[in-house]
Structure 1
Amino acid sequence: MSPTTPDYLPLLPLVELADCSAQLPRPTMASIVSQEVRVFRVPDDASDTAECSARFGIPLEDGANTIVLRFKKESREQSAAIVALADRRIDVNGAVRRALGAQRVSFAPREWATEQCGMEYGGVTAFGLPRDWPILIDTRVMERTRIVMGAGVRSLKLLLRPSTLLTLPNASVHDLLKT
């Protein structure tokens, strides 16, 4: 890690990718295997963003959440994901709708989202999503040195540079905050 290594890094129970590959959803594993991504274990009582931040001393502004959306564009229902910092409120019906060029945007139902992603609720990550989904990344995510985000399962988290998100298919950066 570089001189900008987060202070909380020594507190994270890091694991080798090979040691957790059986736990990760296959598409997630395939998506991160060649990236500079660190994986760490999270106890069940610390898997939610706020609890994870408190347990490991991770500032909330380093926590990034992936949210699955459904949207209507050109009379077709489609899917997308947004990646935003945990301490921010996203403008879904304004900025996100405009970025997608959508007529209507809504949060995907929990069961549908987990089935389509092949990931656990509360652990959804941008890594391993269907390749045709747009992934909108809020500009504030890109301003962080490192981010912590879900790994597709609630028992693991990912630590990475935000620029790694730009390697994902259909990933783009937008100002998505509520003003």
Structure 2
Amino acid sequence: MHAPIGDFDSATPAPDCLDELTAPVADAVRAWRGSVPAEQIVYVDTDPRWADTAVFVEHYGRELLERSANCVVVSGKRGGETTLAACVVLSTTRVDVNGAVRRQLGARKASFAPMDTATGESGMEYGGITPVGLPADWPVLVDPAVADLPYVLVGSG
């Protein structure tokens, strides 16, 4: 299979390569009930050496600059309660943690979650967190610019 975007050596429908995915992502793919068929979730193997956005698009295709997204974990706090959430934005966009995200979560304070919290609570690798397979009680805030794309590349967990 050829990836719908980017220049990758191989692309595989996620249900056909569950052993390549981290446990939470594989479990989510197995139980997938989304509006898009699970077979349209495509796994591409990337080299961590090229994870930086600028290097990534140089290596895998310039069109990915506008078609790749970051999934970042944020922490919202209010009245002693902490809410973890995921924000999915284009890789060219900054997450408005103290504005839009804080308001969306109804938090008094919001910040990027510490790396050990993000990886420990998600079960995914830092820099490879994806909204597919996150804990069910986490809000997932998706920028409309990401939702409007027919395909988007997001970390694989």
Band the TM-score falls in, shorter-chain normalisation: 0.7 to 0.9
Q: Is the 8 A contact 1:83 1:136 kept in 2?
A: yes
Using the alignment, how far apart are the partners of 1:141 and 1:21 within structure 2? Answer: 25
- Structure 2 alignment gaps of length 5 or more: 33-37
**1:65 corresponds to:** 70
Give CA deviations for 1:60-113 in whole Å, capped at 9, x if unaligned: 110111000111134311211100000012211111111111111011000111
**Matching residue's letter, 1:150:** G
Task: Map residues 137-148 of structure 1 onto 2, 5 A cutoff.
Answer: 137-148=142-153
RMSD: 2.0
**1:43 corresponds to:** 47
**2:118 corresponds to:** 113
Using the alignment, how far apart are the partners of 2:15 and 2:88 within structure 1? Answer: 26
**2:99 corresponds to:** 94
Q: Is the 8 A contact 1:97 1:104 kept in 2?
A: yes
Return the offset for 1:16.
4.9
3-state SS, counterpart of residue 149 of structure 1: coil
Identity among equivalent pairs (%)? 38
Give CA deviations for 1:9-37 in whole Å, capped at 9, x if unaligned: xx222135366422312121122344220
Q: Which structure is higher in strand share?
A: 1
CA 1:18–1:81 in structure 2 vs 1: closer, same or farther (change >3 Å)? closer
Using the alignment, how far apart are the partners of 2:77 and 2:114 within structure 1? Answer: 15
1:28 and 2:25 matched = yes
Using the alignment, how far apart are the partners of 1:108 and 1:127 within structure 2? Answer: 18
Return the offset for 1:148.
0.3
Q: Is the 8 A contact 2:74 2:97 kept in 1?
A: no
**1:164 corresponds to:** none
1:52 and 2:52 matched = no
TM-score, normalised by the number of residues in structure 2: 0.83
Using the alignment, how far apart are the partners of 1:137 and 1:17 within structure 2? Answer: 21
Q: Is the 8 A contact 1:69 1:107 kept in 2?
A: yes
CA 1:43–1:100 in structure 2 vs 1: closer, same or farther (change >3 Å)? same
3-state SS, counterpart of residue 150 of structure 1: coil
CA 1:54–1:25 in structure 2 vs 1: closer, same or farther (change >3 Å)? same
Aligned length: 146
**Matching residue's letter, 1:55:** H
Q: Is the 8 A contact 2:68 2:153 kept in 1?
A: yes
Structure 1 runs (4+) deviating above 6 angstroms are none
**Matching residue's letter, 2:47:** P
- Structure 1 alignment gaps of length 5 or more: 153-179
TM-score, normalised by the number of residues in structure 1: 0.74
**Matching residue's letter, 1:52:** F
